[in-house]
Structure 1
Amino acid sequence: MTYLDYQATTPLAPEALDAMLPWLRDQHANPHSPHRAGRAAKAAVEVARAQVAALMPPGGRVVFTSGATEALNWAIKGGTGAIVTQATEHAAVLDTVAASGRASVVVPVDRDGRVDPSIVAAAVRESDARLVAVMLVNNEIGTIQPIAEIAAAVRPSGALLLCDAVQGYGRVAIPEGCDMVAISAHKIHGPKGIGALWIREGVAPAPLLHGGDQEGGRSGTLSPALCAGFGAAARLAATRMAQDATHVAHLFAAARARLAGWTVNGAEDRRWPGNLSVRRDGLDVARLMSDVRDVAFSAGSACASGSGRTSHVLRAIGLSDVEARTTIRIGVGRYTTQTELLVALDRLVAAVDAQKVAA
């Protein structure tokens, strides 16, 4: 199996697994217990917290959660007042905003999938919004949003800025100016089941979970193994960020050359190059997945797979339903080799060409 779905999840780094194993095999203490074994577990959690925080701006704290979905729910539901967000946000933001029952404004994006900071600022002023939610890197099309510019534009209003940085953390620098940042371990070669909300000093969202307040605003017993795996993955990402970025940029260029005649969705330049969302006229994506079963790629966001609906992200950048249904997403990363990528793409292209002949 050739794995080309890095936006859905990433392979677990060997270093993360090694950090987790002692806590899974030998050390089972509760990190919130006062005895020596509990204090040792607590120390491991705090080491991991510092490793995760090292990739964040200064002046805030990392609170571990069960994942980015919980972090985003907490950040949104823990506030008051109107909310401004944008049309290509992840469902974890858009659905939570809708479920909050608060007034909200969803601003449009351009053909590249980028939002205009001045439009965001105007929406904040007109709605007297108290929260702005804009993601850093889009999970479906890879577009990078101008977070620093948005932060500067909305700062005079006093609204808080929440950034879903799940696809950007560990890959690109987290911009200054955010008040809350949601991240996930399994998108940076860490374990599933753990994420975090970075909260700027002075910001205090109301608790989403109650029953112990172990994390200072977030209740629940932490897993030292998951925390250790997250921390090790973050430490590795910090040391490899430039190397990983160069690697995926080379892969992106090679893939673009091999997919001549395909159309890229989203920005060509202001994007994370590990994400390649492309479409081709007449493509039957379901048939392609059936014909090339040993290549793992996506027909869009993994979170919406099987829903039967076309992607809200692709609709937001102006694609028709027909264009959206002829789109596939190729995701590459640290452990993808150029050889396996090109072999897999050749198989995909051959299968698509065979569709056209059969038609």
Structure 2
Amino acid sequence: MGACISAGKFGDYCHGVPKENSWSADEEEAQKRDASSGGGGRRICCSGQLPHYVSLYSQQGKKGPNQDAVVFCQDYATGGGAFCGVFDGHGHHGHHVSKRVRDWLPAVLLRQWRQWAAHEGAEGKMVTDSSTAFDVWKESLFKAFMMMDKELRLQQAMDFSCSGTTAVTIIKQGDDLIVANLGDSRAVLGTISEDGALTAIQLTTDLKPSVPQEAERIKRCNGRIFALPDEPKVQRVWLPNDNYPGLAMARAFGDFRLKSFGIIAVPQVSYRRLTSADQFIILATDGVWDVLSNKQVASIVWSARSREMAAKMVVEAAVHEWRSRFPSSKMDDCSAVCLFLRC
């Protein structure tokens, strides 16, 4: 697994991540090395070693370079805050898209948040009320996702017209949790029910073309949705007059050929007030969720030998299940981030 680790607290930008939305020759070369090695995209922005309360892991599948990327940022926005994200690339340049979003999105979002928070706060002070804070984060996320997609479109070194990435991100500020989802990666909360049992609560919707509201928008924009005969359960998005490109999700960064036909980069954003019963949050790409249920993944995390091993154990379980259930199929990339909420 390839790793990209940066030391230092997350301030204006992660050390090693472009402060402005530019991509230098050295960074391009680093991306090429990462892609050619088949490594996973992993970036950690924290003080020293990875904190004991978070775990990240990514494993390449059998379809080519690892197109997944994951990120964790410590002390994000405020002291004790955290940002986590999982990105699943697709298309010929999908590994480049996912890793660029991983590298740029946290900084782009943070700048937007600071601008909105200063505007909403009294005399430039950051807002602390949960309701207002969520409104600020929500508007900041909408703006940051739009800007991120625009930056990808402006890149001249690569053609992202038929390549893109999903994104599922969480922002934790104290007991406030903000979730933003784009595509079919997923966030799941592990919590303890009133009877003391571990319960898995899905925090996001898998935004696929089969979701009625997503299908309505795509069809209204003249995009077509149908499944191929050899995979009748997988609805895909196609151009109006061409059986191409067949995108299996309804929202994504990139994929600019389909942006006029209903594919959007607008995230679904939700808020949750965490309680003492909530134990951990899992973010994972669809390579995990295609073969493991929410309950199975939550149980693996809960029973992990250590917190540091939790994400790896989830991915290894998914890999085992792929090999067992689909021995003749090309296994998908599998990646996970586990954020523990209690000491």
TM-score (norm 1): 0.24
> Could you say which structure has the higher helix fraction?
1
> Could you say which structure has the higher strand fraction?
2
Bigger RCO (CA 8 Å, 6+ sep): 1
User: Which structure's CA Rg is the greater one?
Assistant: 1
